[in-house]
Amino acid sequence: MDLDYTEQQKAFRQEVRSWLEKHVPGKPLPSFDTSREGFEAHRAWERVLADGRWGMVTWPESYGGRGLDLIQWLIFEEEYYRAGAPLRVNQNGIFLLGPTLMEYGTEEQKARFLTAMASGDEIWAQAWSEPQAGSDLAAVRATAILERDEYVLKGHKIWSSRAVFADWAFGLFRTDPASQRHKGLSLIFFPLNAPGVRVQAIPQIDGETGFAEIFLDDVRVPAFNRLGGEGEGWNICMATAGFERGLMLRSPARFQVAARKLVELFKAHEAEVEPTVRAAVLQSWMDAEAYALSIYATASRLAAGGHIGAEASTNKIFWSEMDIAMHKAALSILGARAELLRTAPEAGDIGRWLDGYFFSLAGPIYAGSNEIQRNIIAERMLGLPRA
């Protein structure tokens, strides 16, 4: 892997930086997990990105993108986080479902869903987990029974991110009720305002409603909404999980910017903290840089025709545990002040470390718990026998 940027890549970076300097909102947007107002403010930002064809730069121009490669996407992400641009409310769509649609969708499905996804006109929720099927996704019980040219959906989904205010969801359903585990599953899209759909918010520890339960009672959707063949859902979902765990869900720029802010926080309070904190701050910075290099290597491999495999699990464990360590280091610097600064508007970024810590605690659980990821590494990468 060549660690030097080409002249073309340097010019692209400057183009991104110039556009963001002109368009990033001067004040932070309200949280998209707190209110409809905040959600719609972020949708409006997605439309601004789409107008400049920045919604998803790797997508073909015909679907609202720029037809660029993954290295350019990483450059875009670095500039995006450097500029302090709003979080992406449609990350479930553009980062997870979108790449999967590119690989498994028909041309008609791509035309129907991708452009509306890139523009922010349709915001997506992920509807995989169920009360008895979290990290053990193969245990899903929700069913989708084909009646002529429609599927009838029935079941209960939980921990569905963005579902409170989103427009659509993609879920894993058992299209063969007699099947067991990984067999007989299909990935199906459904609108969240369809008759028979009930969405119930789940308040988080920080008071926001980033997750929801979805109750499906004889919800009818066209067979057109099935991605891939019937019964192919498990393999398709594993491709989506590869994007989620190994590449797109957690951009390295997110952690690099956080590491720089942590270093700044440490320098401002160095005289007040224990000497051991310095080592934790340095480790956080090194880990963020190591993760970035790892993702650049993954992007280079994919550009050369490779695929994301079981090694995505190592990335997921690394970034989720790094996130917790980084926020713990910040809280060890701030001490009790972290709670006081959390509600102080003038505190800015410093006031967000505690909420960031709360959110980081979920990292080892979502996108497949780290315990499950370690099993995947043991069995699929190291060839160890099942316990």
Q: For 99-129, what is each residue's pLDDT tens digit?
A: 899 989 999 999 999 999 999 999 999 998 9
Residue bearing tokens 């690099």? 256
Handedness of CA 60, 61, 62, 65 (dihedral sign): positive
Of the candidates 310, 358, 312, 305, the one whose C-alpha atom is nearest the C-alpha of residue 331 is 358
Q: Name the percent of the chain lying above pLDDT 70.
A: 94
Average pLDDT in the chain: 90
Of the candidates 326, 327, 325, 321, the one whose C-alpha atom is nearest the C-alpha of residue 357 is 327
Q: Assess whether pLDDT exceeds 80 at residue 341.
A: no
More confident residue, 323 or 355: 323
Distance (Å, whole) CA 15 – CA 155: 47
- Residue 380 has a pLDDT of 86
Distance (Å, whole) CA 385 – CA 387: 6
List Cβ neighbours of 106 (8 Å cut-off, separation of 6 or more). none
Q: Assess whether pLDDT exceeds 80 at residue 257.
A: yes
Give the active site residue among 244, 274, 321, 371: 244
- Angle subtended by helix axes 107-119 and 36-51, to nearest 10: 110
More confident residue, 378 or 196: 196
For the 250-381 domain, the top CATH level (class) is: mainly alpha
Q: Assess whether pLDDT exceeds 90 at residue 68.
A: yes
Q: Which helix (H) or strand (E) holds 342?
A: helix 337-342
Q: Assess whether pLDDT exceeds 70 at residue 17.
A: yes
Confidence of residue 216 (pLDDT cuts 50, 70, 90): very high
Alpha-carbon 259 to chain mean position: 20
Residues 32-51, mean pLDDT to the nearest whole number? 95
- Residue 18 has a pLDDT of 97
Residues 350-379, mean pLDDT to the nearest whole number? 86
- Residue 106 has a pLDDT of 96
Of the candidates 157, 183, 181, the one whose C-alpha atom is nearest the C-alpha of residue 171 is 157
Q: Assess whether pLDDT exceeds 90 at residue 224.
A: yes
Q: In terms of DSSP H, where are the helices of 24-133?
A: 36-51, 70-82, 91, 98-104, 107-119
Residues 305-321, mean pLDDT to the nearest whole number? 85
- Residue 117 has a pLDDT of 95
Show the tokens assigned to 161: 């991110």
CB atoms within 10 A of CB 235: 14
- Residue 275 has a pLDDT of 87
pTM value? 0.85
Q: For 384, list phi and psi in degrees, rounded to 5.
A: -80, 150
Show the tokens assigned to 335: 């001490």
Which has the minimum average pLDDT: 17-21, 72-76, 171-175, 301-305? 301-305
Which has the minimum average pLDDT: 127-131, 252-256, 336-340? 336-340
Residues 171-199, mean pLDDT to the nearest whole number? 93
| SS3 category, 209 | coil
Which has the minimum average pLDDT: 32-46, 166-180, 236-250, 292-306? 236-250
Handedness of CA 256, 257, 258, 261 (dihedral sign): positive
Maximum Cα–Cα distance across the chain:
72
For the 124-232 domain, the top CATH level (class) is: mainly beta
Q: Assess whether pLDDT exceeds 90 at residue 138.
A: no
**What number of residues does the chain have?**
387
Q: Is 207 left (phi over 0), alpha (psi -120 to 50) or beta?
A: left
Residue span(s) of the chain under CATH 2.40.110.10 come to: 124-232
- Residue 248 has a pLDDT of 67
Which has the minimum average pLDDT: 139-148, 209-218, 352-361? 352-361
Residues 271-293, mean pLDDT to the nearest whole number? 94
Do 79 and 13 meet the contact criterion of CB atoms below 8 Å apart?
A: yes
CA end-to-end span of the chain:
37
Residue span(s) of the chain under CATH 1.20.140.10 come to: 250-381
- CB neighbour class for 3 (10 Å; exposed up to 12, middle 13-18, buried from 19): exposed
Q: Tell me how many helices (H) and strands (E) the chain has.
A: 13, 8
Residues 254-261, mean pLDDT to the nearest whole number? 95
Which has the minimum average pLDDT: 32-36, 109-113, 347-351? 347-351
Letter for the amino acid at 327? H
Q: Is 244 a catalytic residue?
A: yes
Q: Assess whether pLDDT exceeds 90 at residue 9.
A: yes
Show the tokens assigned to 269: 């309070």
